[in-house]
Amino acid sequence: MSILLVGAQGQVGQELTKTLPVLAQTLGPLVAVGRAELDLTDLDVIASKVATTQPKLIINAAAYTAVDKAESEPDLAHRINAEAPGALAVAAAKCGASLVHISTDYVFSGQAPSPRTESDVTGPLSVYGKTKLAGEEAIREALDSHMILRTAWVYGVHGKGNFVKTMLRLAGERSQLSVVADQVGSPTWAKDIAETITALSAHLLDPTEQCAGTYHFTDSGTASWYDFAVAIFEEARALGMPLAIETVNPITTAEYPTPAQRPPYSVMSSQKVAQLLGHAAPQWQESLKQMLQQYLQQHTATQS
């Protein structure tokens, strides 16, 4: 018996390697695999890995997340975001495992100006959103004991890059930046997602609870990308980070065209998760502050 974590090198995956061991006493050791250990484009390899690992719990934190690139690589995005989760779910059913899978706000069109609930009609605008929705559907079809956790605007200390890291890099190089101000969402720290997944997993595995299904989780509060950028710079300066940035200009989506269409309103209701866990999500501003403190500590340590 074990816990199988797929996507261990991603920004959420690396946080999960710290939070999931709390479940090891009852579920067995954590087996954390990244791209090198598990090729998600090979469905036979996925089935074999689950069969040999015999996990009680599978966490899928892996995805094809290059939203714009997916428009020109739809087959690869579909294989990783739709077929691979389906293969994990089929393999989980065969060995009696439960599956927790991370999905996205991109399954919605973002046209409605009110927080999306789990029962709202989906309508993805991009290849990325469509493939992630197909992954959800494949899991629901193959496995009863699952949780699909939709989240949004994820950032963290780990991983190759995210909005916070990108803004800090650019703000160190430039005196002026333009940031989209007409897309609204809820910035969400990867660490908060990992802690939530770990807590939800305990509920999913409790035979006395009937809590399988789809959930939304983001940090509390809303912001535009422009608001988020301004907050990043303010907090970074308060922590003593040297920044060159002097002016942040709000612009429209139309002024910053991208290959993939983004949902203009990405806010989701986390009430269902809050009711199950007994507490609301942290405020995004507070989580941002804590993340930047960790980032600064890590950055300072690597340079000393």
What are the start-end ranges of the H helices in 145-259? 163-173, 190-204, 225-238
Answer yes or no: is pLDDT of 248 > 70. Answer: yes
Q: What is the pLDDT of residue 202?
A: 95
Rounded to an integer, what is the distance from CA 172 to the centroid of its chain?
Answer: 26
Nearest Cα neighbor of 233 from 288, 303, 155 is: 288
The contacts of residue 30 (CB under 8 Å, 6+ apart) are 2, 3, 5, 17, 20, 21, 24
Residues forming beta bridges with residue 179, ordered by sequence position: 250
Answer yes or no: is pLDDT of 301 > 80. Answer: no
The two structure tokens encoding residue 294: 């960790």
pTM, rounded to two decimals: 0.95
Q: Are strands 184-185 and 223-224 parallel, antiparallel or unpaired?
A: antiparallel
Q: What is the pLDDT of residue 112?
A: 85
Residue 17's pLDDT band (cuts 50, 70, 90) = very high
Q: What is the pLDDT of residue 302?
A: 63
Sign of CA dihedral 91, 93, 97, 101: positive
Q: Domains in the chain and their CATH numbers? A: 3-160+188-220+267-283 (3.40.50.720)
What are the start-end ranges of the H helices in the chain? 11-19, 24-27, 43-53, 74-78, 84-95, 127-142, 163-173, 190-204, 225-238, 271-277, 284-303
Q: What is the mean pLDDT of the chain?
A: 95
User: pLDDT tens digit string along 59-107?
Assistant: 999 999 999 999 999 999 999 999 999 999 999 999 999 999 999 999 9
CA distance 158 to 14: 7
Contact yes or no for 115/68 (Cβ under 8 A): no
Element housing 248 (H / E): strand 247-251
CA distance 222 to 251: 18
**Across 131-152, average pLDDT:** 98
Nearest Cα neighbor of 101 from 62, 53, 154, 56 is: 62
Active site residues: 128
Nearest Cα neighbor of 138 from 194, 99, 180 is: 99
Residue 113's pLDDT band (cuts 50, 70, 90) = confident
Residue 265's pLDDT band (cuts 50, 70, 90) = very high
Answer yes or no: is pLDDT of 274 > 60. Answer: yes
Answer yes or no: is pLDDT of 304 > 80. Answer: no
Answer yes or no: is pLDDT of 178 > 80. Answer: yes
Q: What is the pLDDT of residue 303?
A: 60
CA distance 154 to 175: 26
